[in-house]
Structure 1
Amino acid sequence: MPARLLTVAQVAELLGTSVRFPRRLIEERRIVFVKVGRHVRIPESAIQEYIESHTVQPIVRRFGKAA
């Protein structure tokens, strides 16, 4: 089954940003997108990959150990 294609507005809502942010990602070619005529669509899988690759894991500190 092909990936679901999202509009720029839908991506912005998913990321909790303004529409300007996903448009900048597209302009800078930092995210995969599909041109459908003059419309731009972003595969839902591309958004998941973007989120996973930009997720920062917390640092686990161990107290009581000397460095």
Structure 2
Amino acid sequence: MNKIEEFKDLVFDYNHEILIINGEKVTEPIIVKLNSQDAWGVSKVFNYQMTRSGMELPVVTIDLDV
């Protein structure tokens, strides 16, 4: 099942793996995928230190062209 949400407040630092959505810092392991004309499909695992082998991670896609 795909869940699509729009966020009103998003703070995002790709290099330092900081993701804050609606005032709450994401501390769980998550895959962040960037979509734009320049960086389509670039992705990175945030909070990878907390992952375990075989763990299925949620994916957040951020459209940079909007």
TM-score of the superposition, structure 2-length normalised? 0.23
Quick one: higher RCO (CA 8 Å, sep 6+), 1 or 2?
A: 1
Larger Rg: 1
More helix by share: 1
TM-score of the superposition, structure 1-length normalised? 0.23
